[in-house]
Structure 1
Amino acid sequence: MPLACAAAAAPALILAAPAFAQDAGAPPNSGSVAGKSAEFDLDRDTVTVGAAGVYLTDYEGSNDYRWTPAPAAIGSVKGFSFTLAGNRLSVDLIPNQPGASWDVQAGPIGVVNFNRNSLKSIDDPRVRALGKVDTAIELGGYVGIGKTGVITSPYDKLSVTVSYRHDVAGAHDSGIWQPSVNYLTPLSTKAAVAVFASAEHAGRGYATTYFSVSPTQTIASGLPTYNARGGWKNYTLGGLATYSLTGNLLKGFKIVAGGTYRRMLNDFGDSPLVSIAGSRNQWLGAVGLAYTF
């Protein structure tokens, strides 16, 4: 299951909309969102759990797609925020101060990278012939800063983060840098939308493991021999919308839907796994249901 490679951000986005209030800078019961009454306790503990169906590629760079389930959770307890997004977990170890409009973020991040670890999920026989790759355990950290009350209301939020993670399981034994920019705004007490952009810079070990083709693999698959180097791997653009079915964005059931476009770059896009067997253009769609406590 290539969730970490093709869609690591997607499950997190599916549950991100309620998070605007976890870090919002307005006091409780303070007016309206988009002209509607909002009685939100913005500093209370809150946890959202949910699940989504995600439509994504068979492997990173593939042009074959399939559906897969993705669990997720996001919350803030005593000012400490966390996000579980399928195979990706992060924790903000800097507590959010009540009433603060600036949010400084820093903490650990971990990803279980399932890219090409199962041949049953890959349709293309040429890529299956390359053999499976061991599961990578990528651990690291991130730093960032966010600001509420930026453009549309006292509740919208713009944040910028940079993360680094390194494989500690020996699958690709290299690191990935990922800068991201996110913007979230509520449209009412029941609806919110978000957009984001990110990019990934991967080490040579990652490029060799997932995008190179050895002479032996050429004989088995028919794909040309290729030696991929590290560098900027991709950029991603995406967005989502959420609507509360019961209660509001801070309590009750909500439906969420979103999608991303990813463009494979440089040696990664030129790899035969992408340029011949797959596509530089990577799409993802997701729809799910969540509940906020």
Structure 2
Amino acid sequence: MHRFHRLLGATVVATMSFAAPALAQEEEQHSSLTVGLGLAAIPSYEGSDDYRMLPLPQVRGKVKDHSFWTRGASVYVDAIADPEGEGWDFELGPMATVRFDRSSIKNIRDDAVRALGKRDVAVEVGGFVGIGKTGVITSPYDMLSARVAVAKDVAGAHDSYVVTPQIEYMTPLSRTAFVGMGLSAEYVGKKYGRTYFDISPEEAVASGLPAYDAAGRGSGFKRVSLSLAGGKSLSGDLRKGWALFAAGSYSRMLGDYADSPVVSIAGSKNQWVGAVGIGYTF
């Protein structure tokens, strides 16, 4: 099955697309592995207008037609085997994310946000469901897919949930090159806003930022993102050997989360991510 797995940036709720496709083959591969390493420029925290460089290892593969892939600090495993040839692909399986946002003070450049203190590392565990179709627009090998992931923090960092709907499209330009794009959003629970976007009166005194209560407004959509990615084989065939990848994304913070002083005063509603990398397919 021809598949487009976006690998998103690791810390700030993964806004970056980092793709590795599997093109159609005369002989279908039932097992494969792609290992990649990228260098990404990402905001220093979610909502920041300062950026830092981050190494980004990624893995994608399948074992007996069961696909698995990483996406930044997330891992997905599809429990439904990929069908052979063109047609529909249904996805269902577990996923988990380790969220490092503001877990290290040294990575935060803004003095006011640094004064708010660090947050614990969140471990979000859940599942996803999706559907994809090959042979949609440009060729028998392009793919359009939609997926929704739902996860809840089990480490007690924000003790809330994150819902991530996403739509992706990938098309090969040849055996040596591909391009793709993705559109995604994040819907988060009330406690998520309290953890990352609220500012208590005590924190306001320490940081100089005004007090803010985003959590009092309930759950909601936190951001929407548009991602673009492309790749070029160095071995003459994207299905094996070395390949170069480049990706970028733009995210817009939304609603009460964008209005938080962490974003509106100390940071920016506009979030950018860029990355380049190299991968090897066995």
Alignment TM-score, normalising by the size of structure 2: 0.93
Q: Equivalent residue for 1:37? A: none
Which among 252, 260, 269 is matched to residue 271 of structure 1? 260
Letter of the 1:254 counterpart: A
In structure 1, runs of 5+ residues without a counterpart are: 30-40
Cα deviation, residue 269, structure 1: 0.1
Letter of the 2:60 counterpart: I
Q: Equivalent residue for 1:193? A: 179
Q: Equivalent residue for 1:8? A: 14
What CA distance in whole angstroms lies between the structure 2 residues aligned with 1:199 and 1:123? 26
Cα deviation, residue 282, structure 1: 0.1
1:103–1:88 Cα change, 3 Å = same
Aligned: 1:122 with 2:108: yes
Deviations 1:133-191 (A, max 9, x none): 00000000000000000000000000000110100000000001110000000000000
1:186-225 correspondence to structure 2 within 5 Å:
186-225=172-211
1:1-293 correspondence to structure 2 within 5 Å:
3-6=9-12, 8=14, 10=16, 13-14=17-18, 16-19=19-22, 21=23, 28-29=25-26, 41-229=27-215, 230-293=219-282
Aligned length: 272
Is the contact between residue 3 and residue 115 of structure 1 (CA under 8 Å) also seen in structure 2? no
Is the contact between residue 11 and residue 72 of structure 2 (CA under 8 Å) also seen in structure 1? no
Is the contact between residue 41 and residue 53 of structure 2 (CA under 8 Å) also seen in structure 1? yes
Alignment root-mean-square deviation, CA: 1.4
Letter of the 1:91 counterpart: V
Cα deviation, residue 247, structure 1: 3.4
Q: Equivalent residue for 2:4? A: none
What CA distance in whole angstroms lies between the structure 1 residues aligned with 2:196 and 2:136? 40
The alignment-based identity, stated in percent, is: 50
In structure 2, runs of 5+ residues without a counterpart are: 1-7
What CA distance in whole angstroms lies between the structure 1 residues aligned with 2:232 and 2:28? 19
Cα deviation, residue 233, structure 1: 0.2
Letter of the 1:267 counterpart: D
What CA distance in whole angstroms lies between the structure 1 residues aligned with 2:11 and 2:162? 11
Is the contact between residue 141 and residue 165 of structure 1 (CA under 8 Å) also seen in structure 2? yes
Is the contact between residue 103 and residue 146 of structure 1 (CA under 8 Å) also seen in structure 2? yes
Deviations 1:90-139 (A, max 9, x none): 00000012235110001011100000000000000100000000000000
